[in-house]
Structure 1
Amino acid sequence: MGNHYKLHPINAAHKFIKSHFPYCDGALLAGSVVRGEATETSDLDIVIFDKTYSSSYRESLIEYGWKIEVFAHNLESYREYFQSDYRRARPSLPRMVSEGIILKDNGIINAIKYEAKELLAKGPEIWTTETINTKRYFITDSLDDFIGCNNRAEGIFIANTLAELVSEFVLRTNNMWIGRSKWIIRSLKEYDISFAEQFVEVFDLYYKSDSKKEVIKLVDEILLPYGGRLFHGFSLGKK
């Protein structure tokens, strides 16, 4: 069971490492507490490196009044996660490693941090024209559903899908990392704060007053430089 009092996050993290991972080769504290964005429900993200582990694993615990997420790796397994994060364009582990506060280091952390920072600076793979066209097609399909929808309950979920597809399109066509959940808006802000505000505003307007006009206008503006909406002539997997 976790304790009812809450230690300072860095103190809690140090105590946690000493009690649970005393023989690890390196440990980092990452996440919202490190970025100064912690809320009442934030947890401690702790990345462990231990050369004796046969594979990576993840574990959740409650200690010292904190929810603690452990991401444990050996000295090779983290690279597979770096590559997987690179391919999906959501750099969760590289971001944790690059921003992480060192809790313990047997001389391995700086090199791993360097790899993480290099990957983040490189940005994700550039989309091919074929990928851009496929994404245009699916955005067009969702936009058509949104425009034609007269059912408020269905409209809410179509709008959610549209927001996710369009945010991904904007970020990837501008060689930016994408996110999921709260990281969607954080990624949009990293790209362009005023665009992020406009993006939230048009969807918020729809959710509050059922007004679709601004969402449709924004989506069309985003698609325009790439040829606009796409339906006629699109094919996928045709031999």
Structure 2
Amino acid sequence: MTETIVIKMGGQAVSNQNQLEQCLKEISLISGTYKIILVHGGGHEISSFSKKLGIEPYFKEGIRMTSKEEMTLVDMVLGGSFNKLLVRKAQLNHLKAVGISGSDGPIFQGHALGSGNYTGRIDHVDISLIKHLLSGGYFPILAPPSIDEEGNPLNINADEAALALATAIKASHLLFISDIPGILNDGVLIPSMTPMAINTAIKDKIIIGGMIPKVQSAIKGLEEGIGQVVIGQYTHENSLLNLIEGSEGTQIHLEH
């Protein structure tokens, strides 16, 4: 049975055109071996657009708190222009790319974090649309904006969206590609970690800040069926395959 890989791409990997094109080329090369789903962020692009319109982005514990005005921009940028940019670049690399959002299907249904705040959390995942696309040989490129039970839009964190999707589809690999080479200890990469090692690293303050919820969520995903979670960086040709095979990034896996 063909294994499924969920790739969450953010930071320079989606903002740097050369890196993005090289990464999509690699996805195309391995698409015959794996079924691949790309979940993308685009926080820098949203913030840049917001500031041009006089809307100052507001973050709490690293998560964007989304006003009604900014939610419109999130839909326009993540679900619209930026998603279609990725789709077109993927198609140049011979991938049958289809751009969708969490609202389609709907793949993700959730709830808002508070009144007047359109940042949300996922309550329910439906992978039937994703499975339909994969079975047809398509390459889904998923933007996180989703929907609540009353039809209102929700801005979902891309990490959370990728994790929820990978868990529901029981992906063999979930790759978090961003601007860091992996989990570091005094600047030195830790190549492999188990839940026990992660809990120790949190106690010892080796893992701090926004990395804590990411690794804790990764452990939950592993316990619910994801084969392996990888945190790493796309920097050069073959980075993607190296992350999958374990020679780059930090591999998080259950104790065997």
- TM above 0.5, yes or no, is no
Identify the structure with bigger relative contact order (alpha carbons < 8 Å, sequence gap 6+): 2
Structure showing the higher helix proportion among its residues: 1
Tell me the TM-score normalised to structure 1 length.
0.23
| The structure with more strand, counted as a fraction of residues | 2
- TM-score by structure 2 length? 0.22
